[in-house]
């Protein structure tokens, strides 16, 4: 599999896109409201945090965390939810909310950053699928004993591992940007994710760092359909830049359209295909959908449909790619017409 990874590196367009991505990230940091706290601000944080520690609320929150792991319905209906709401109301300042983790998430949720991340992933992965067609390797590979099937398995594995790593790096880059610019303490990553306004309903006792890892995994899954599209397009004799262009245009425009019109990709939205890119609704449950009475998280259906959608495209592309006559369809027609 190391040879599949070797095909990915040292591509000019990847470096260019990576530089653009980092540049945009830096620009967003500079332009957005991520003010580095001064010493007076630090003092306020410390006082509030100390005051918080001296109340009964930390014990309540701890108890709430331990009990809510039994299920989302349990935590919604128990007094612990009320206790948690009380904690939210009483605290005027949440040390790990405004500055650190929330800003990490909001930075990562910026549409331009999301689109750029997807473009970067596509540019990185494109050569993995297009090199064989581009460099006329298909006849050699199709006549190797285990050529076609082994190659297909390795490419899929390489693609998914690469997407996972890139997604993780994307998350780390966002967090590091805030650490460097907004003087975010890394210890903020250990805070409970429920301390964030957007995710106070999270039924799982995750830290912010753990949640970001989970986010990386979800983001990797979200890009899978686009990767599947690259695989499908690479079956045809297209230049890798054409494949990259078509896939990027399709993915980028769908995401951009979501900001313009809620109904622009209504079908995809209903199937949850873009849910994995928007984190706010991850752990909300459907009102009308349940499995034997157990509520279903939006993220569950999002993962299911995304994987199914990508798997369908990959299966179709594999069927096309593994046809024996694929390697000779153009060459033979040219030679027979001479």
Stretch that binds another protein, among 80-88, 116-124, 189-197, 324-332 (CB under 8 A): 324-332
Binders of another protein in range 142-161 (CB under 8 A): 142-147, 150-151
Site stretch for another protein (CB under 8 A), options 27-35, 102-110, 293-301, 321-329: 321-329
Kindly indicate which of the ranges 17-25, 105-113, 130-138, 266-274 contains the residues binding another protein, using the contact rule CB under 8 A.
Answer: 130-138
235 contributes a contact to another protein by CB under 8 A: no
- Check: CB of residue 319 under 8 Å from CB of residue 336: no
Q: Is 12 in the site for another protein (CB under 8 A)?
A: no
Are 284 and 297 a contacting pair, CB within 8 Å?
yes
CA 323, CA 213: separation in Å to the nearest integer? 39
Shortest gap between Cβ of 236 and another protein (angstroms)? 16
Interaction between residue 241 and another protein (CB under 8 A): no
Binder among 30, 135, 291, 292 for another protein (CB under 8 A): 135
Nearer to another protein, 9 or 307 (CB): 9
Residue number, 148 or 227, with CB nearest to another protein? 148
- The region of 32-40, 182-190, 306-314, 326-334 touching another protein under the rule CB under 8 A is 326-334
Q: Does 136 bind another protein (CB under 8 A)?
A: yes
CB of 334 to another protein, least distance (A): 10
Distance of closest approach, residue 315 Cβ to another protein, in angstroms: 21
By CB under 8 A, name the one of 140, 241, 304, 315 that touches another protein. Answer: 140
CB 195, CB 84: distance < 8 Å: no
Between strands 285-291 and 294-297, the pairing is antiparallel
List the structure tokens of 129: 């699928």
Q: Which two tokens stand for residue 86?
A: 């009380």
Q: Which value, to the nearest 10 degrees, does the dihedral of the CA atoms of residues 52, 54, 57, 63 take?
A: 120
Q: 70: closest CA among 60, 59, 78?
A: 78
- Cβ 325 to another protein shortest distance, Å: 5
Q: Residue 231, class by beta-carbon neighbours within 10 Å (0-12 exposed, 13-18 middle, 19+ buried)? A: buried
| 8 Å CB contact between 264 and 271 | no
**Phi-psi region at 292: left, alpha or beta (left = phi > 0; alpha = psi -120 to 50):** left
Q: What are phi and psi of 83, to 5 degrees?
A: -60, -40
Q: Does 7 bind another protein (CB under 8 A)?
A: yes
Using CA atoms, how far apart are residues 96 and 32, in angstroms rounded to an integer? 18
Nearest 5°: CA angle at 205, between 115 and 275?
Answer: 25
Interface with another protein by CB under 8 A: which range of 40-48, 58-66, 243-251, 327-335? 327-335
Question: Which residues in 210-229 contact another protein (CB under 8 A)?
Answer: none
What is the contact surface with another protein in residues (CB under 8 A)? Answer: 3, 6-7, 10, 131-132, 135-147, 150-151, 324-325, 327-328, 331-333, 335-338
């Amino acid at each position: 599999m190391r040879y599949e990874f070797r095909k990915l590196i040292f591509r000019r367009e990847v470096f260019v896109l990576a530089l653009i991505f980092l540049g945009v990230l830096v620009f967003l940091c500079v332009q957005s409201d991520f003010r580095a706290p001064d010493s007076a601000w630090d003092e306020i944080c410390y006082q509030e945090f100390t005051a918080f520690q001296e109340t009964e609320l930390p014990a309540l929150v701890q108890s709430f965390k331990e009990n809510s792991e039994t299920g989302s319905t349990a935590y919604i209906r128990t007094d612990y939810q009320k206790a948690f709401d009380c904690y939210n109301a009483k605290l005027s300042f949440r040390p790990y909310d405004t500055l650190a983790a929330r800003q990490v998430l909001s930075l990562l949720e910026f549409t331009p950053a999301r689109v750029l991340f997807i473009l970067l992933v596509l540019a990185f992965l494109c050569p993995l699928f297009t090199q064989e067609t581009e460099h006329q390797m298909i006849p050699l590979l199709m006549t190797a004993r285990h050529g076609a099937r082994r190659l297909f398995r390795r490419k899929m594995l390489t693609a998914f591992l690469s997407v996972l790593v890139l997604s993780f790096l994307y998350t780390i880059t966002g967090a590091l940007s805030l650490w460097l610019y907004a003087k975010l303490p890394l210890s903020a990553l250990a805070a409970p994710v429920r301390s964030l306004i957007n995710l106070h309903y999270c039924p799982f006792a995750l830290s912010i760092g753990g949640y970001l890892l989970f986010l990386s995994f979800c983001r990797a899954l979200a890009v899978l359909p686009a990767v599947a599209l690259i695989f499908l397009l690479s079956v045809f004799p297209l230049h890798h830049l054409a494949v990259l262009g078509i896939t990027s245009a399709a993915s980028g425009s769908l995401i951009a359209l979501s900001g313009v019109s809620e109904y622009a990709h209504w079908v995809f939205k209903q199937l949850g295909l873009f849910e994995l890119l928007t984190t706010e609704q991850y752990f909300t449950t459907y009102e009308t959908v349940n499995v034997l009475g157990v509520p279903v998280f939006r993220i569950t259906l999002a993962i299911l449909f995304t994987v199914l959608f990508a798997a369908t495209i990959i299966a179709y592309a594999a069927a096309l790619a593994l046809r024996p006559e694929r390697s000779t369809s153009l060459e033979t027609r040219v030679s027979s017409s001479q």
